[in-house]
Structure 1
């Protein structure tokens, strides 16, 4: 199957690249499974504090789901459901990561690629990036779970226009809708992303985890997510990091958080 997910971890920051350049980093079935596998493994390790997801090169974050899969994996009703479940599992797994995630968007961010970007907590886009939802040009029924995710990202009116017209939305316009947190010149996109990732990686991990869980609960995640947010917030309040934060503040120095 074409395409891979390249993963590296350094200094508490995991970097994932969608690698399928011949197809504008379209995401194959194997790549969706690899994203789910990364999320399952990453949640068990304390050395990752932030994850950055991007497309290989600067031409595309992702051109969407790899349509070359569709003749086999999405050719009938049962296949459609199985494939949609595969995509949803990967997007949900990324959403559920216990640390903050950033999507670095350059070039095209289309269809299921946009849904994957919407699964991240924050999005930084180069000024040459664009978003599109071309399902209506393909005649496919877009998974409602993905529509809900995209609506959270773009807002109701903007996602209507994207779906109904299949037009492109510029990064600048996406910034106006709130879908993009920062829009920067292409040459500055990686530096800006690295700076933001490092800023978050330097903060107290338990605090960030509790906040992320509570935010997810506010957006309609299952009730047990809020209970988990309460549990993790209590851990943060009893942690060595909380003591370190107070001491660093008193000593007017940068805190050194251990995640414990």
Structure 2
């Protein structure tokens, strides 16, 4: 199923092997509702299972905000007691882990505010590209909340413990320039060019051997979890790459000085 229902608060479209997931609450700066969080793992699963999808991009339907964070108007219904908060947190962490664990590469294409839960989603992606108007922050300290461990780990992995503490303790918003300087984001691109350049970067990855791309993603994740040597599974993954059709095609294309046409998806 390839969603195109633009009346939904979150939906996705597939074009040229790229699934683009859109946040569609621009009137609320794409504040994330409980239903949006619950929908994310379903969309990710569909993208994972779709052989026509090689890349996933998260973005807003417009340039005003990637997401300004959780919809605080729901907190008195979904996060007001310990029991309801526990359930809500389970839903958000399921969404976050779905983004982190999907085998296909992910990009957060950010314009405007990327705060709270919006930043949590962006940090869970493989890459974060922002326009010059990007504003970043993780603000639970302003609400009297403690940030979850998976989100904190993702943040620390990107910016280090001191900068993570700065972001979390102060709850301040930082510019795209500062975010780039501390490693929170990977690129700053002009608002006029960000759509085209993000698509071009995704296209470069789509053109490569997907077995290699996804294998690399898996091994990077294992390194972040503390691995320093190949596990039995990753050792087999590496060996399997040498007997794949894509490896043969890649070698032949190089020797024949032509573009490789990989088949794995």
> Structure 2-normalised TM-score?
0.91
Q: How many angstroms apart in 2 are the aligned matches of 1:39 and 1:221?
A: 26
Q: How many angstroms apart in 2 are the aligned matches of 1:233 and 1:23?
A: 46
Displacement after TM superposition at 1:119 (Å)? 0.7
Q: How many angstroms apart in 1 are the aligned matches of 2:59 and 2:231?
A: 29
SS in 2 for 1:187: coil
SS in 2 for 1:123: strand
Distance 1:65 1:259, change over 3 A: same
1:201-237 Cα shifts (integer Å, max 9, x gaps): 10000000110000001111899x9554444333322
1:239 maps to which residue? 244
Equivalent position to 1:192, from 197, 202, 225: 197
Displacement after TM superposition at 1:29 (Å)? 1.3
Q: Contact between 1:16 and 1:53, CA under 8 Å: does it hold in 2?
A: yes
Gaps in structure 2 of 5+ consecutive residues: 1-6
1:96 maps to which residue? 101
Count of aligned pairs between the two proteins: 258
RMSD in angstroms over aligned alpha carbons?
Answer: 2.0
Q: Contact between 1:27 and 1:113, CA under 8 Å: does it hold in 2?
A: yes
Q: Contact between 2:209 and 2:246, CA under 8 Å: does it hold in 1?
A: yes
Q: Contact between 2:19 and 2:47, CA under 8 Å: does it hold in 1?
A: no
Equivalent position to 1:33, from 24, 30, 38: 38
Displacement after TM superposition at 1:42 (Å)? 2.2
Gaps in structure 1 of 5+ consecutive residues: none
2:27 maps to which residue? 22
Q: How many angstroms apart in 2 are the aligned matches of 1:234 and 1:72?
A: 52
